[in-house]
């Protein structure tokens, strides 16, 4: 910490209080597991922060028959507990329970995972992309709902003033899976992540994280699979399609080169389809 810098901390009890602090220039502090490493990335810690953990509405997961609402301050561990055993959310549970380590998962939040700018390896991003999640934000102009793809693309601009408050999910998936490739030399973060899901119309959704700077759906592969028969949900066949339709530009990073991240995608997809097939939901396919 630079000598003489005064730091301020506010724990908001309501979203309005949190927004008021944002208006005065405070940054959101969630679990702090990303922010605490800012100095290592050459970024100064904010002088004022507002914590969200005392806002009850942001710390709960509501599981309803047709939808789920996840508060932004819900931790990875709590998310895993809340959705474990819910058909269709196997991938999201695997992402929440497989990221980082138990200590981090107890404090790191869903909002923090989605709002850590320039963090390409966020596990929840691809897992929520295949759920086609909607992100709820509070801005100075009022509440706003945004599809997760648009949120991820525009978050640099959005987060200059907004607070992510909740994530909304439909319960329209019959099965999902989340496959990550960590490398020993990569330290903490997976070098490539593939999330897959099958919806009630037997359409397969696939998203990739950590390969490009921002996680995204693998539309070319989804379309190639949709053009084939239902039996296309065969691990070897999908891996071949993944090789043919690999349109990713791998990002170079200290833990892996771009070409490597791109190249590991077909085998990860193969593992993902095998995981999907082992869930109860797709047993009938």
Ligand X SMILES: Cc1cc2nc3c(=O)[nH]c(=O)nc-3n(C[C@H](O)[C@H](O)[C@H](O)COP(=O)(O)OP(=O)(O)OC[C@H]3O[C@@H](n4cnc5c(N)ncnc54)[C@H](O)[C@@H]3O)c2cc1C
Among 28, 69, 179, 197, binds ligand X (CB under 6 A): 28
Q: Is 268:178 a contact under the CB 8 Å cutoff?
A: no
CB of 234 to ligand X, least distance (A): 30
204 touches ligand X (CB under 6 A): no
DSSP 181-232: EE-GGGTTSEEEEEEEEEETT--EEEEEESSSSS-EE-HHHHHHHHTS-GGG
Residue with tokens 């082992």: 278
189 touches ligand X (CB under 6 A): yes
CB of 236 to ligand X, least distance (A): 28
CB of 280 to ligand X, least distance (A): 27
Stretch of 101-109, 166-174, 196-204, 252-260 lying at the interface with ligand X (CB under 6 A)? 101-109
116 touches ligand X (CB under 6 A): yes
Strands 163-170 and 134-139: antiparallel
CB of 148 to ligand X, least distance (A): 14
Site track 55-94 with ligand X (rule: CB under 6 A), x = hit: -----------------x----------------------
Q: Is 124:110 a contact under the CB 8 Å cutoff?
A: yes
Among 21, 108, 174, 206, binds ligand X (CB under 6 A): 108
Which residues are bridge partners to 190 per DSSP?
A: 182
Stretch of 166-174, 186-194, 219-227, 276-284 lying at the interface with ligand X (CB under 6 A)? 186-194
Token pair in block for residue 159:
């987060």
152 touches ligand X (CB under 6 A): no
* Nearest to ligand X of 183, 277 (CB atom): 183
Q: Is 145:136 a contact under the CB 8 Å cutoff?
A: yes
Q: Output DSSP code: residue 46.
A: P
Q: CA 257 to CA 10: how far, in whole Å?
A: 41
248 touches ligand X (CB under 6 A): no
* Nearest to ligand X of 72, 152 (CB atom): 72
154-172: string of b/e by CB count within 10 Å (b at 16+)?
A: ebeebbeebbbbbbbbebe
Q: Which residues bind to ligand X, rule: CB under 6 A? A: 27-35, 52, 72, 99-100, 104, 108-109, 111-113, 115-116, 121-123, 159, 163-164, 188-190
């Amino acid at each position: 910490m630079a000598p003489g810098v005064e730091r301020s901390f506010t724990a908001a009890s309501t979203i309005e209080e949190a927004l008021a602090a944002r208006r005065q220039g405070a940054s959101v502090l969630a679990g702090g597991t990303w922010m605490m490493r800012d100095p290592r990335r050459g970024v100064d810690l904010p002088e004022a922060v507002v914590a969200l953990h005392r806002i009850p509405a942001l710390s709960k997961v509501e599981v309803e028959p047709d939808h789920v609402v996840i508060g932004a301050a819900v931790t990875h561990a709590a998310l895993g507990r809340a959705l474990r055993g819910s058909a269709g959310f196997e991938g999201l549970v695997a992402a929440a329970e497989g990221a980082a380590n138990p200590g981090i998962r107890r404090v790191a939040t869903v909002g923090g995972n989605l709002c850590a700018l320039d963090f390409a390896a966020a596990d929840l991003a691809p897992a929520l992309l295949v759920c086609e999640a909607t992100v709820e934000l509070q801005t100075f102009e009022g509440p706003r709902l945004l599809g997760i793809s648009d949120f991820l693309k525009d978050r640099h601009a959005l987060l200059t003033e907004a607070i992510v408050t909740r994530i909304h999910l439909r319960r329209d998936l019959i099965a999902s899976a989340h496959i990550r490739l960590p490398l020993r030399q990569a330290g903490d973060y997976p070098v490539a992540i593939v999330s897959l899901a099958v919806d009630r119309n037997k359409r397969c959704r696939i998203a990739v994280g950590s390969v490009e700077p921002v996680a995204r759906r693998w539309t070319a592969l989804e379309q190639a699979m949709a053009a084939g028969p239902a039996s296309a949900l065969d691990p070897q066949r999908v891996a071949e399609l993944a090789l043919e339709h690999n349109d990713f530009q791998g990002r170079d990073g200290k833990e892996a080169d771009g070409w490597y991240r791109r190249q590991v995608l077909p085998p990860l997809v193969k593992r993902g389809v095998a995981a999907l097939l082992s869930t109860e939901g797709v047993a009938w396919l």
